[in-house]
Amino acid sequence: METIQVTRSSMPSFEEYTEEIKDLWESHWLTNMGIKHKQLEEGLAEYLDNPNITLYTNGHLALEGAIAAFNLSGEVITTPFTFASTTHAIVRAGAEPVFCDINADDYTMDVSKIESLITDKTTAIVPVHVYGNICNFKEIERIAKKHNLKVIYDAAHAFGVTVDGLSVANMGDASMFSFHATKVFNTIEGGAVTFQDSTLRKTLNDLKNFGITGPETTEYVGGNAKMNEFQAAMGICNLRHVDEEIQKRKNVVERYVERLSNVPGISLLKPQKGVKNNYSYFPVLFDNYKENRNQITEKLKTQNIIARKYFYPLTSEFACYDGRFNVKDTPVAKYVSERVLTLPLYADLSLEDVDRICDIILDI
């Protein structure tokens, strides 16, 4: 039986992509803000409803770019219930992550706990719209204003999500998006930063090109994080189909919800009010179910179905941070991390396969 992976990259047809890249053989312009790059940036500005956007070779370097542009140092309040990238980006910038616990109902940062973590060293909040669930951005904004903190969202999971019509790309001071192959919208590898202060564009762009600010001047110790033309061409093609892909994901999610709702010991996240979802992940919490999360994972694996323990372990438990953080500070995150499993989800996952996965979980 063919293996069902947790995700499967969305791709345009071979013909559509080759047609899109054809003119690169005429221009011989392969990277450094070429014509495809410009076209994709414009397309995404429109799709995400924010003209202030700049593209990156991946999401992680986009986040590092945003952190560098705001010159963050000291302490940064963030969540341990995320992918490695969020925490690593803060640490690699030389700042200290301070972990805030999460809500049990949507797994985003518990805003009632933020203020008690603020010290005179705090410079920013880096929350995560985990699984595409939107953080309580209004309360985060209120706290940030009061304490003069920057807010950079890790919106890697939240491409295209809106709340009461407001695009996720218009929250906080900046947001990072990932266009990695496994995400709802991909450019093979890729990412973006959206931001509110339009004067940041030049800093962000300079920082991702070695800090070079003119033909003979280099003002920053920048890195290299530019998106190339082949990535941008993939993005142009995928952007044409992304709404259709999200609709297909929705059908998959609805089938999962239908099959797994109201099962004692299995809890699903409730849709957030006013939120237009992107159906990026389907997390399930096994809490006093007849089999635990690890047993379910193994059972699916014997049938060639790969589910993933996103996010286990917490980033605060990583070997590279051994002894540095205390998971007891984030008990809800710890609890969820030990019980959550994200089930396979991608646009072309058939409803028959969803049924088969549910049958295995439900022991039918």
Ligand X SMILES: *Cc1c(COP(=O)(O)O)cnc(C)c1O
Closest approach, Cβ 359 to ligand X, in A, equals: 29
Tokens of 43: 């397309």
Q: Which of 266/280 has CB closer to ligand X?
A: 280
Site string (171-190) toward ligand X, x via CB under 6 A: -------x-x----------
d(CA 249, CA 33): 32
Nearer CB in complex with ligand X: 83/99: 83
Tokens of 263: 């099962």
Q: How far is the CB of 88 from ligand X (least distance, A)?
A: 9
CB of 213 to ligand X, least distance (A): 25
Residue 58 CB, nearest distance to ligand X (Å)? 4
Does 160 contact ligand X by CB under 6 A? no
Nearer to ligand X by C-beta: 187 or 266? 187
> Which residue of 34, 132, 172, 191 would you call a contact of ligand X, by CB under 6 A?
191
Q: State which of positions 51-80 bind ligand X (CB under 6 A).
A: 58-60
Closer residue to ligand X in complex, CB, 103/266: 103
283 binds ligand X (CB under 6 A): no
CB closer to ligand X, 136 vs 186? 186
Q: State the nearest-atom distance from the C-beta of 285 to ligand X, in Å.
A: 18
CB of 182 to ligand X, least distance (A): 7
Backbone angles phi, psi at 96, to 5 degrees: -105, 120
Kindly identify the residues of this chain, within the stretch 121-140, that bind ligand X according to CB under 6 A.
128
Task: Tell the smallest beta-carbon distance from residue 102 to ligand X (Å).
Answer: 13
Q: How many residues touch ligand X (CB under 6 A)?
A: 14
Rounded distance between C-alpha atoms, residue 109 and residue 170, angstroms? 18
On whether the CB atoms of residues 258 and 356 are closer than 8 A, the answer is no
Cβ proximity to ligand X: between 157 and 334 the closer is: 157
Among 36, 150, 157, 293, binds ligand X (CB under 6 A): 157
To the nearest whole angstrom, how small is the minimum distance from the Cβ of residue 83 to ligand X?
4
* Minimum distance, C-beta of residue 129 to ligand X, in the bound complex (Å): 8
Instruction: Give me the residue whose beta carbon is nearest to ligand X.
Output: 59
**Closest CB to ligand X among residues 91, 360:** 91
Partners of 234 in the β-ladder = none
Query: Does 83 sit near ligand X (CB under 6 A)?
Result: yes
- The terminus-to-terminus CA distance of the chain in angstroms comes to 19
Segment near ligand X (CB under 6 A); pick from 150-158, 285-293, 327-335, 339-347: 150-158
Given candidates 10, 54, 78, 86, which one binds ligand X under the rule CB under 6 A? 86
Query: Is residue 85 involved in binding ligand X (CB under 6 A)?
Result: yes
- Are 53 and 192 spatial neighbours (Cβ–Cβ below 8 Å)? yes
Of the candidates 98, 157, 151, 110, the one whose C-alpha atom is nearest the C-alpha of residue 129 is 157
Contact residue for ligand X among 154, 173, 229, 245 (CB under 6 A): 154
Residue 311 CB, nearest approach to ligand X (Å) = 8
Strands 53-56 and 191-195: antiparallel
Does 278 bind ligand X (CB under 6 A)? Our answer is no
Residue ranges in contact with ligand X by CB under 6 A: 58-60, 82-83, 85-86, 128, 154, 156-157, 178, 180, 191
